[in-house]
Structure 1
Amino acid sequence: MSRLDSVSRFDFQRFVDWVDHRIVNRSRRVILVFLALTLVFGAGLSAVETEAGTEQFAEEVPEEEAFSRISEEFSPSFSEATGSTQLIQRAPNVLTRRELLRMLEAQKRLADRDDLRVRSTASAASVVAQTLDEDAETLDAQITAVERATDREVATAVSANANNPRFVGLLADDFNPTGASSTATIAVITHSLPQDEAASAGQGGESQLTPIQRKAQRVVATVGGDISVFGTGVIADEFSTVIVDSLIIVVPAAVLFIVLFLVVAYRDLVDLLLGTAALGMALVWTFGFLGLAGIPFNQIMIAVPPLLLAVGIDFGIHAVNRYREDRAEGHDVDDAMRKATDQLLVAFFIVTCTTVIGFLSNLVSNLTPIRDFGVVAAIGIIFTFFVFGVFLPATKVEVDRLRQRYPIPTFSQSPLGREGSSLGSALRVGIGPALRAPVVVLVAALLLSSGAMWYATGVDTEFGQEDFLPPAEAPAYLKALPEPFAPGDYSVVADIEFLEDRFTSSQSGVVTIFLEGRMTDGAFLEELDRVAQDPPGTFLVENRRADSTSILTVLQAEKAINEDFATLVARHDTDGDGIPDRDLETVYDALLATESGEQAANYLADDYRSARVDYRVKADADDDTVVADARTIADRFRTTSTATGTVVVFTAISDLILDSAVQSLAISLAGTGAFLIFIYWWLEGRPSLALANLVPILVAVTSVAGTMRLVGISFNAFTATVLALTIGLGVDYSVHVVHRFIDERAENDLRTALDRTVRGTGGALAGSMLTTVFGLGVLVLAVLSVLGQFGLLTAASIVYSFLASVLVLPSALVVWDRFSGNDPMVPLDALEMDIGPTPGDD
């Protein structure tokens, strides 16, 4: 070993000794400092704010920025904004006299409430009423018209509107004009709202319509029948409440499972209380930091508590178990804790750094919530390191000293995986193959990993507001939960699916092209006409052109009804094609002064420097194809153009999610590998140990990726972080094994070192694995199904990491030992002392 290596190891040991001294000799001061810090961070809990919905994911996405600019530039600055509520009515036949009256009564009761700010209402029932009485302009008059009509007259009025698109568009696809029947209809209630924020493709967790639509639900319920309220306010409400409902279910369940397995792992009441208190402290510090730093709590962060519990449980069990091993060998309290922390502080430090690298790899993401999640999780892991690496040992020392003076009840203090135990025997299963045929084990593991990674290339990527909402049908076990754990009644996803399924004929999507440049250029309007020709297959067609709305279509519509304006257009049309091509500023000024001016302002900015074009697309078209076609259309423009709209923004986010998953995985692997090479060189003078350390991590990562495709889980806003997290959590298991092996190998032959490692550290890993798997597994109980997917995959990553560490890692360590030129029958200390470093030593 070189002199530089010796100095580096000495310097690090001096730091460890400094911490050891304070843990053992100044334990009370350490405890007081940590309690004081807990009070400081606890004060930040009240400042934590929640942020729900999809809007947060759309930030900084170019397509979303274009979408927001459209709202800003094509809406009057000080005009009244509007919002809408849909009433969805279901019945065997919603066009009967009785059901029509129900809908009209619902409209009237909503309109009569001043606090609901109803500006107008529209429904199929109103159309029927006005067919019965063309003077029935008010809702009262429409109700009277239907009340006075016979069933036959109502049916005749329905049939008379069979070709009325305004009427048919409000009815389900099963509308039968001959039988005057339909099983569903929608009404649209328009509300006046103050002009506030720009529109966004994403849906936020707050909406001006939320309180309005909550009240509307209560009002509509008084009418009877099956009429539900749907709109952005209802969606925003569910975005917010689903976080609280998920935490109410997940946290108690996690605590229950964790306490249950900690009882098995610690088998001592006092140690159980200490471990639980340390877990609570780590959570208070993390979420207090969240409040103090002003980072909002979003849906993804629901996974942070289980993740911190996972790492905290692992640290706690390792700390107590290693201390018990040293106590069992006859050391007193002080010496046992010094010996335990000498080894564990180094292992905890390596685990913390590699896990932080895994979490911080999410900083490359272009999605703000994923970056925030990575930062908060990384900070939480650092806090967990201090709490379990310093506070817990100091408290354990203080408690055990009190036990020696007072009759504090003490239960089992034996370590997990001790010699002769059933667990210890089971953990040895990987030693035999490692000693007999380690290369065969490694080749088999690498072939399995390669196959799993190839299989995982078929994993899909998705993003949509349904990911952040409860499923249409809640699982039976959630419905059976008593209060206060029972989740609320959720309807949004069911309503979305119902509308998409039953109203397809009246629905069409819209994509928007945002144009920037000189809209007064003489060729601009002709360019709009040229681009609309020969539209892509997903676009709706009208007169062999794309069905679109733009400043050109508004201009042509006004020209058809306004002779003066038509004359003006003709004067500015040099080629006689009906489209003005000179002095367009004068044409625009004249158009904005007509009755069509308000509509024109929706498609042309005030300064004539930007414009928008809305293209209607087929409702059943594939989203990816629609987006590709929209971008193709955008490329046809000579001016700067951006394809946008909800479907384009969500697809762009979906692409970013996949990019985030791949980039964070690559950075996490590279960063973890580089750090392990450095740390093993610095601490042990053997950088090649990093290669052995990475083998089980690769096995775990590829296994998780393959599992995603096997069980049909896509990359989404939640699962995009799973692969990087697997590296961070997987390193936890492999580092403990490798570090323990090096300590044991220094004093024992190869077989003994492996045996003591897998029994001692493997026993703690087994207890940690079971506790963590169930602690994270409770996420499947969350109201959000995607959160359950995240919990399932994270729990699977823990299982794979544990199995790889006890089944594959021993073989990697044996191959490393042989590669280093060590004699398997002689301890490393003896080799270095007697014969010096071997030629193969790193």
Structure 2
Amino acid sequence: MDATETVADWIIDRPKTVVLAFLLVTALFAVGLGRVSTTAGTEQFTEGTPAQEAFEDVQREFGTPFGADTGTTQLIQTDRNVLSKAELLATLRALEALSERPDLRVESTQSAAGQIATELDPDVESLAEKRRVIDRASEAEIDAAVVDLSDRPSFTDIVSDDFNPTSATASATVAVVTHRIPAELDEGGGGGGEPGPLTPIQLRARGIVSPVDTDIRVFGQGIVAAEFSNVIADSLLIVVPAAAALILAFLIVSYRDPVDLVLGTLSLALTLLWTFGFLGLTGIPFTQFLIAVPPLLLAVGIDFGIHTINRYREERVTGATVETAIRRALDQLLVAFGIVTGTTVIGFAANLTSALQPIRQFGIVAAVGIAITFLVFGLFLPAAKVASDRFRAARDLPAFGQQPLGREGSRLAGVLSGGVAVARRAPVAFLLVVLLISAGSAVYATGVDTAFSEEDFLPPEETPAYLEDLPEPFAPSRYTVTRDIQFLEDNFEAVQGESVTIFVQGPLTRDTTLESFQKAQRNPPDSFVSRGRDAETTSIVTVIRDYANESDRFRALVERNDVDDDGVPDDDLRQIYDALLTSPQRDRALQYLTESRRAAQVEYTTEATASQEAITADAREVADRYRFEATATGQVVVFQSIAALILESALVSLATALLLVAVFLIAVYAVLEGAPGLGLVNLVPIAVSVALIAGTMRLLGLSFNAFTATILSITIGLGIDYSAHVVHRFADEYDGRPDDGDPFPALQRAVAGTGGALTGSMLTTATGIGVLVFALTPVLGQFGLLTALSIVYSYVVALVVTPSVVAVWARYAE
């Protein structure tokens, strides 16, 4: 082809110019390295989704329970009895230490110790006074105060579920510290994994509290955000060196020549540098999701590098000159690399169909990275190889390991030719067996679950011992968030269940408004916590009832407007709201009803054992009961909507990738070989690989999550590499030496010639990506395992199944 001839001429005639040009472009991309930012957590997935927008509407209308300018830190305290005098004093000393630090902006505190002190002496206010009250009290007086508080939710909610009022004991308690957040800073801290103003506050609080009492630990969204960020750096610090060591070991075996090893490694480095520079120049942040991109690029880069050097060596051992060998290698490989690059880019770019921004960004970065890999290994590496071999020849320097992998007659070539032997004997019968296995695997895969949760992005509850034993700087940070989240869920009933919010919009001054709220909570679905016939809810009705119990005047107003005498006013609601919003309950009322009386939120408590999917479905069913425009939202609903989008993304990207790859391959082989059917030949093995990896997911109990959602399109993107090399090499050999129309000699040469390079590529890339199983985030380990398996499947299918597909094609194409 004219294009490949032109490229070969440039590389042969001006190799140093090509190398210099690449180094200059590398300097430009290096500018972007300093601009690469990072982001982590769930917020990157939820942003822009309808459920999240509804959730943000609720937060914008009603704020948070602590106000828009506050954030909270929790102190988790554990002991044989956290209600003993010594432990209560430890709680108050820790709270005092935090309150005395101006930089922590402590506004108020809530604790079991503080409530007990107030029960003993109602006049105490400061933490120091409360500590002195506890210090002067006897154990019997403290126990009596605990008994008096045992029926108050404000107390029982912050002591563990094993609280025994008779013996005045509990094994854990949670103290809440409220911080003032400056107005110019964002609300909260680390919500969804993004570091915020609470992150430095809570990290400093951790350092202050630890010396006070080792049984008290700091927890909060700021700590969560810090661990979200640290897990990226720690995972890279573990995965990248491990991948580099394994890849280097396999490259030494594959190249067997120090100069070729240096050139191949340098090419890989340029690929990664250009890709990360692209991130910085375009402003795309580096996320946990993109940790998978470097191993993917290494996978394709290693494949291209081994094929380039191996194909060049195939010609050199026949006595060809440097110029002739590189020209013949490029004439074949540039087309093969172009096919692989086109199909791989399509496989990754298919993720642009996703509604989730991180998956779209992954598709963009991976596709651009693959295109960069093609340029580096299609142009830079051959030019550098020509320049280095000429340099060695001019100075009579020795070369090592110049025999190609899998050359005809070698033991490896004999092993790799097993698929050709099957294709000679019974290709149709063999393909029918493969079809049945693939179809069975695909049907079995329909049971794969989908999931999305904050815990997907957190490190495991217990860091594996083999990671803790790593020397510095590879040893991971100390992670506590997952353990603390699990501890709170296991020991505190108040945090066991989730909650969902129904966001109601409309003219809420209608007389029937609050009665409709009451009817909507009757006969709640199974996933909702119930009290008799009604769901457990918190709403403006709750505030009205609570204030009616406090104010005789307000109670009389409610009773005058309560036609059916059920405690819920159903007449003159405008007057009810006016009285409530001018009362001491104003701030609390505005958490559930806007001042315009056009929007309200109703919070439903859900069962701890209910699934995310069931809760979401039930919440939407309850929302339909309201007579106004009502939307189910809340974190559970948001996360379930993301889980649904993940499954949709996986299926749509798979269908898109398969369709576009099929069109691309048919068009390419129609133009190059006049045989469009070879495009479908190329596609059959990858379809088998996709079916096998999908079935494996269910077999291993893995679900489609934020990371594994892309595995099917990645299998296409990476797996097509193996079958493309076999099919294109066959087409080249078959056209060049038709062997009287017999396809098997060409097929034998193709498998033996390219199979060795494919084996080296498979071993290096599968292990290089497989090291992701050592990443601190479990779902990233699952992604690494599945990607490595998809590579192995694609390799085996390419060498075992492709020959039979080619044989059938050759039989019927004639």
Query: Do they superpose with TM above 0.5?
Result: yes
1:413 partner amino acid: Q
1:57 partner amino acid: F
Per mean C-alpha deviation after superposition, the further-off stretch among 124-133 and 283-292 is 124-133
CA drift at 1:607:
3.3
Task: Pick from 259, 280, 284 the counterpart of residue 295 of structure 1.
Answer: 284
Counterpart position of 1:830: none
Give the Cα–Cα distance (whole angstroms) in 1 for the partners of residues 194 and 687 of structure 2: 38
Give the Cα–Cα distance (whole angstroms) in 2 for the partners of residues 79 and 132 of structure 1: 30
**Secondary structure, aligned partner of 2:34:** helix
CA drift at 1:170:
1.6
Give the Cα–Cα distance (whole angstroms) in 2 for the partners of residues 637 and 403 of structure 1: 82
Gaps of 5+ in 2: none
**Deviations along 1:297-355, whole A, 9 cap, x unmatched?**
11100000000000000011111111111112222111111111111111111111111
1:365-764 matched pairs, under 5 angstroms: 365-504=354-493, 507-542=496-531, 544-562=533-551, 565=554, 584-585=573-574, 587-746=576-735, 747-749=737-739, 750-764=743-757
Gaps of 5+ in 1: 1-12, 822-842
CA drift at 1:580:
5.3
2:760 partner amino acid: G
Counterpart position of 2:266: 277
CA drift at 1:695:
1.7
CA drift at 1:577:
6.9
Counterpart position of 1:176: 164
Per mean C-alpha deviation after superposition, the further-off stretch among 420-429 and 295-304 is 420-429
| Structure 2 residue 332 is matched with structure 1 residue 339 | no
| Structure 2 residue 40 is matched with structure 1 residue 47 | no
**Secondary structure, aligned partner of 2:177:** strand
Give the Cα–Cα distance (whole angstroms) in 2 for the partners of residues 273 and 506 of structure 1: 56
**Secondary structure, aligned partner of 1:240:** helix
CA drift at 1:152:
3.8
Per mean C-alpha deviation after superposition, the further-off stretch among 98-107 and 122-131 is 122-131
Does structure 2 retain, via aligned residues, the 8 Å contact 1:762–1:806?
yes
CA drift at 1:422:
2.1
Does structure 1 retain, via aligned residues, the 8 Å contact 2:189–2:222?
no
| Structure 2 residue 128 is matched with structure 1 residue 140 | yes
CA drift at 1:507:
4.1
| Structure 2 residue 773 is matched with structure 1 residue 780 | yes
Normalising by structure 2, we get a TM-score of 0.96
CA drift at 1:383:
0.5
**Deviations along 1:70-116, whole A, 9 cap, x unmatched?**
11122399975211111111122222222222112111111111111
Does structure 1 retain, via aligned residues, the 8 Å contact 2:190–2:221?
no
Counterpart position of 1:264: 253
**Secondary structure, aligned partner of 2:507:** coil
Per mean C-alpha deviation after superposition, the further-off stretch among 303-312 and 595-604 is 595-604
Normalising by structure 1, we get a TM-score of 0.92
Give the Cα–Cα distance (whole angstroms) in 1 for the partners of residues 388 and 397 of structure 2: 9
**Secondary structure, aligned partner of 2:528:** coil
Does structure 1 retain, via aligned residues, the 8 Å contact 2:191–2:221?
no
Counterpart position of 1:5: none
| Structure 2 residue 811 is matched with structure 1 residue 818 | yes
Distance 1:136 1:724, change over 3 A: same
Percent identity over the alignment? 54
| Structure 2 residue 225 is matched with structure 1 residue 236 | yes
Counterpart position of 1:360: 349
Does structure 2 retain, via aligned residues, the 8 Å contact 1:94–1:183?
yes
Counterpart position of 2:48: 60
Task: Pick from 178, 199, 202 the counterpart of residue 213 of structure 1.
Answer: 202
**Deviations along 1:147-172, whole A, 9 cap, x unmatched?**
22333443343344333332222222
Per mean C-alpha deviation after superposition, the further-off stretch among 163-172 and 681-690 is 163-172
Does structure 2 retain, via aligned residues, the 8 Å contact 1:511–1:615?
yes
**Secondary structure, aligned partner of 1:615:** strand
Give the Cα–Cα distance (whole angstroms) in 1 for the partners of residues 419 and 544 of structure 2: 78
CA drift at 1:648:
1.0
Distance 1:198 1:125, change over 3 A: closer
Give the Cα–Cα distance (whole angstroms) in 1 for the partners of residues 341 and 588 of structure 2: 58
Does structure 2 retain, via aligned residues, the 8 Å contact 1:201–1:649?
no
Give the Cα–Cα distance (whole angstroms) in 1 for the partners of residues 192 and 519 of structure 2: 34
Counterpart position of 2:142: 154
**Secondary structure, aligned partner of 1:222:** helix
**Deviations along 1:440-479, whole A, 9 cap, x unmatched?**
2211111111121122222221111111110001111101
1:240 partner amino acid: S
Does structure 1 retain, via aligned residues, the 8 Å contact 2:157–2:493?
no
2:623 partner amino acid: A
CA drift at 1:556:
4.0
**Secondary structure, aligned partner of 1:44:** helix
CA drift at 1:366:
1.1
Does structure 1 retain, via aligned residues, the 8 Å contact 2:186–2:197?
no
Give the Cα–Cα distance (whole angstroms) in 2 for the partners of residues 111 and 330 of structure 1: 82
Give the Cα–Cα distance (whole angstroms) in 2 for the partners of residues 311 and 76 of structure 1: 48
| Structure 2 residue 786 is matched with structure 1 residue 798 | no
Distance 1:556 1:417, change over 3 A: same
1:250 partner amino acid: V
Task: Pick from 807, 819, 831 the counterpart of residue 800 of structure 2.
Answer: 807
Per mean C-alpha deviation after superposition, the further-off stretch among 537-546 and 15-24 is 537-546
**Secondary structure, aligned partner of 1:228:** strand
**Secondary structure, aligned partner of 1:47:** coil
Counterpart position of 1:125: 113
**Deviations along 1:727-747, whole A, 9 cap, x unmatched?**
111100000000000111121
Counterpart position of 1:7: none
1:40 partner amino acid: L
Distance 1:642 1:414, change over 3 A: same
Give the Cα–Cα distance (whole angstroms) in 1 for the partners of residues 121 and 546 of structure 2: 31
Does structure 2 retain, via aligned residues, the 8 Å contact 1:518–1:609?
yes
Distance 1:701 1:412, change over 3 A: same
Aligned residues: 809
Counterpart position of 1:320: 309
CA drift at 1:579:
5.2
Distance 1:103 1:581, change over 3 A: closer
CA drift at 1:572:
6.6
Counterpart position of 1:832: none
CA drift at 1:251:
0.9
Give the Cα–Cα distance (whole angstroms) in 1 for the partners of residues 133 and 688 of structure 2: 73
Per mean C-alpha deviation after superposition, the further-off stretch among 427-436 and 193-202 is 193-202
For the aligned residue pairs, the C-alpha RMSD in angstroms reads 2.2
Does structure 2 retain, via aligned residues, the 8 Å contact 1:80–1:192?
no
Give the Cα–Cα distance (whole angstroms) in 2 for the partners of residues 106 and 316 of structure 1: 60
Per mean C-alpha deviation after superposition, the further-off stretch among 331-340 and 403-412 is 403-412
